[in-house]
Structure 1
């Protein structure tokens, strides 16, 4: 294999640039040319493809986002769109592909693999919702961004004796809310994997207020409900002064943490090793601090599950 391509797809996450850098430099180290595919699968279809050199990825390891940009592409979900992508890869002489993104991105890579294009997937998403890896690139950075925000909000909550509802990202997975809530001592953590009884939450808040508690922090994953609606319900049923903060896309940005930079570098390098060994059609990840690789079929067939022991612990510590 003498020429490979790399693209980022789906939502951006801090550490994607570090992964791109590792892919490019590891490949060049082994005498392989690397072509960057811009705008994800949309750029693959349109042929927005350029050769990357060592200098192309200089000074990007510390930058959030992705220098290759990213975009959603409905056309690539069709057989016709996938064929256009294959044709572009053949036109540029690209013999293998590294895809950095989430499960939707991996489904696209799997389709290419089925058509004879060796492909490797690197998990990059702040939601940490990919099966087959303990952590995804970007999760640690987003988590620390959320924790920093909650720490600051807690100062105000304490000063004004208020209840604060903080909505974080996590449409289908509550890892970000759970980890942040546990790290920040939240009284309640609401995740999409667990149906919370609002009456129980209300009783807990009232019980805390009755024993002299002056403020409370409630962390809500967006998939568990609207923070604004939950805040209104709490205020109506408790008469506690309640404020809502929706952190939004601030969670996606920022310089990646050391953990995300190292993870991205390790996974990026592993993806090249697998391609050069002829061991493609896989997603790379990390389990128990060991690098692993799973077939796309196996990885996509499994579901990511919330850590039930950690969730139980959060309940026990928030009494």
Structure 2
């Protein structure tokens, strides 16, 4: 193998640039030519591919987002679009592709591998909803962003005797809500993996009020519902007035934490090593602090269960 390429796809996450940097520099160190694909799978089909040098990825390890940009593509989901993408790569003599992204990106990489083009998947998403890895690139940064916001909101919640609902990202996964709620000392954490009852929530809030607690924090994963809807239900059924903070895309931005930078660097380097070994169709992750690679087709479309012990702990500590 002499030439490889790297792209980012789907939603951006802090640490993607560190992963790109690792792929490029590990590849060049190993004697490969490395190409960057701009605008994800859409750009791949359009031939937006450029050779990268060592200096091309200088001063990006600390930056959020992705220097290769990203886009979503309906056309790429078709066989015709996938063959078009492969033809663009083969026209430049590129023999392997590293894909950094979430579940949709993994499914795309699996499709290319099925059609005979070797791909390696790196888990780049703040939601931490990729199977085969304990942590995804960007999760730690997003977690710390949310915890910082909770800490600041708690200050004003205390000053005004308020109950705040903080809505965080996580359509199908409650990892951000669970980890940030536990770290931020939230009284209630609502996640898609566990049903909730308003009456039980109010019992928990009233218990705090009865012992003189001046504020309450509810962390809500967007997959459960909107903060506006929850606020309306609490007011309508219990007369509880709340304030809302929807953190939104602030969770995706910012400088990646040291942990995300190191994780991205380790995973990116491993991707190059696998391609040099002639291996494709692999998904790289970290399990119990060890770098692992698993079958990409088995990983795509799946999510590991949420750590049940963390949810139980959050319930026990929020009494």
TM-score by length of 2: 0.98
Residue in structure 2 matched with residue 298 of structure 1 by the alignment:
298
Q: How many residues were matched structurally? A: 319
**SS of residue matched to 1:97:** strand
- Residue 239 of structure 1 and its aligned partner are, at CA, apart by 3.4
Residue in structure 2 matched with residue 185 of structure 1 by the alignment:
185
Q: Which moved more, 1:247-256 or 1:304-313?
A: 304-313
| 1:29-85 Cα deviation digits (max 9, x unpaired) | 011001100000000000011110011000000000000000000000000000100
Q: 1:301 to 1:227 in 2, by over 3 A?
A: closer
Residue in structure 2 matched with residue 254 of structure 1 by the alignment:
254
| 1:243-294 Cα deviation digits (max 9, x unpaired) | 0000000000000000000000000000000000112210000000000000
Q: 1:295 to 1:250 in 2, by over 3 A?
A: same
Residue in structure 2 matched with residue 212 of structure 1 by the alignment:
212
Q: 2-side partners of 1:241 and 1:154: how far apart?
A: 16
Q: 1:157 to 1:272 in 2, by over 3 A?
A: same
For 1:27-176, list aligned pairs within 5 A: 27-176=27-176
Q: 2-side partners of 1:70 and 1:147: how far apart?
A: 27
Could you list the runs of 4 or more consecutive aligned residues of structure 1 that deviate by over 4 angstroms after TM superposition? Answer: none
For 1:206-245, list aligned pairs within 5 A: 206-245=206-245
Q: 2-side partners of 1:231 and 1:149: how far apart?
A: 19
TM-score by length of 1: 0.98
**SS of residue matched to 1:141:** helix
Q: 2-side partners of 1:301 and 1:153: how far apart?
A: 35
- Residue 238 of structure 1 and its aligned partner are, at CA, apart by 3.5
Q: 1-side partners of 2:115 and 2:297: how far apart?
A: 15
Q: 1-side partners of 2:71 and 2:298: how far apart?
A: 26
- Residue 2 of structure 1 and its aligned partner are, at CA, apart by 0.6
Q: 2-side partners of 1:196 and 1:236: how far apart?
A: 17
Q: 2-side partners of 1:39 and 1:302: how far apart?
A: 25
Residue in structure 2 matched with residue 14 of structure 1 by the alignment:
14
**SS of residue matched to 1:135:** coil
Q: Is the 8 A contact 2:166 2:227 kept in 1?
A: yes
Q: 1-side partners of 2:112 and 2:237: how far apart?
A: 53
**SS of residue matched to 2:218:** strand
| 1:72-121 Cα deviation digits (max 9, x unpaired) | 00000000000100110111111100000011101111111112111100
Q: 2-side partners of 1:275 and 1:23: how far apart?
A: 11
Unaligned runs of 5+ residues in structure 2 are: none
- Residue 302 of structure 1 and its aligned partner are, at CA, apart by 4.0
**SS of residue matched to 1:223:** coil
